């Protein structure tokens, strides 16, 4: 049956949309809207480009629209984006062997997620597409319609900003774990 590839793509877009917006329910709605638009605009697809690039472009444009809409309305989540959104992201994290390690990983993931949300959407988009969706720089460039060099410079800046945001937090966490080394976390 041909629905399996679309189900996995829908799931992939939902995860990306949750990471871009920080809201589980809105991310799922945006993923559904992306496929609705793909269906509605299927005749507009130009076969000269990759189909996946066209799909990513639609999904990301919806995320950008949502982020702009929030900024205009200054919306904030009632639960501080912890509850269900965090639970959805945790569902995709490999389980840790012991509860204490699992809790540490959960706290680190929350720190990274909060740091990711502090980045401007330009840098967040490149970081999400590269580290979470495993797209190559040239694929990201095609999706964002910018040169590969621009993608690389944005990635470098995004990583610099993430390091600047996370370094003080992880340094404090390192002293709390009795001197154990704190690994770089990109969950």
- Which residue bears the tokens 């990201």? 140
- Return the HEC string of 28-39: HHHHHHHHHHHH
Highest mean pLDDT out of 27-36, 43-52, 133-142:
133-142
As a whole number, mean pLDDT of residues 60-84 equals 70
Q: What mean pLDDT is reported for the chain?
A: 77
pLDDT at 155: 95
pLDDT at 162: 92
pLDDT at 182: 39
Q: Are residues 45 and 101 in the same domain?
A: no
- Return the HEC string of the chain: CCHHHHHHHHHHHHHHHHHHHCCHHHHHHHHHHHHHHHHHCHHHCCCCCCHHHHHHHHHHHHHHHHHHHHHHHCCCCCCCCCHHHHHHHHCCCCCCCCHHHHHHHHHHHHHHHHHHHHCCHHHHHHHHHHHHCCCCHHHHHHHHCCCHHHHHHHHHHHHHHHHHHHHHHHHHHHHHCCCCCCCCCCC
Domain limits at 123?
93-187
29: domain CATH number? 1.10.1740
Domain termination residue (choose one: 53, 80, 107): 80
Decide if 87 is inside a domain.
Answer: no
Q: Are residues 111 and 180 in the same domain?
A: yes
> Which has more confidence, 184 or 173?
173
Q: Are residues 167 and 99 in the same domain?
A: yes
Q: Is the pLDDT of residue 86 over 80?
A: no
As a whole number, mean pLDDT of residues 73-97 equals 58
Domain termination residue (choose one: 21, 48, 80): 80
Q: Is the pLDDT of residue 159 over 70?
A: yes
Q: Are residues 116 and 181 in the same domain?
A: yes
pLDDT at 7: 60
Q: Are residues 40 and 103 in the same domain?
A: no
Give which of 113, 111, 116, 114 is closest to 126, Cα–Cα: 116
Q: Are residues 180 and 104 in the same domain?
A: yes
Q: Are residues 74 and 100 in the same domain?
A: no
Q: Is the pLDDT of residue 50 over 50?
A: yes
Q: Are residues 136 and 178 in the same domain?
A: yes
Q: Is the pLDDT of residue 105 over 50?
A: yes
Query: What whole-number percentage of the chain has pLDDT above 90?
Result: 22
As a whole number, mean pLDDT of residues 6-29 equals 70
Q: Are residues 126 and 97 in the same domain?
A: yes
User: Using CA atoms, how far apart are residues 90 and 120, in angstroms rounded to an integer?
Assistant: 23
Highest mean pLDDT out of 33-37, 69-73, 156-160:
156-160
Q: Is the pLDDT of residue 184 over 50?
A: no
pLDDT at 154: 95
pLDDT at 78: 47
């Amino acid at each position: 049956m041909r629905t399996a590839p679309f189900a996995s793509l829908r799931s992939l877009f939902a995860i990306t949309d949750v990471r871009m917006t920080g809201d589980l329910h809105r991310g799922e709605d945006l993923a559904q809207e992306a496929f609705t638009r793909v269906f509605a605009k299927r005749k507009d697809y130009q076969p000269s480009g990759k189909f996946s690039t066209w799909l990513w472009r639609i999904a990301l444009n919806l995320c950008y629209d949502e982020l702009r809409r929030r900024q205009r309305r200054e919306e904030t989540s009632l639960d501080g984006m912890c509850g269900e959104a965090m639970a959805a992201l945790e569902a995709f994290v490999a389980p840790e062997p012991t509860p204490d390690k699992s809790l540490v990983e959960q706290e680190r993931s929350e720190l990274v997620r909060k740091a990711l949300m502090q980045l401007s959407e330009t840098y967040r988009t490149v970081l999400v597409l590269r580290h979470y969706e495993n797209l190559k720089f040239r694929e990201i460039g095609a999706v964002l319609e910018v040169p590969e060099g621009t993608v690389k410079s944005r990635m470098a800046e995004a990583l610099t900003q993430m390091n600047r945001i996370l370094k003080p937090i992880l340094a404090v966490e390192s002293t709390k774990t009795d001197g154990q080394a704190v690994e770089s976390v990109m969950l």
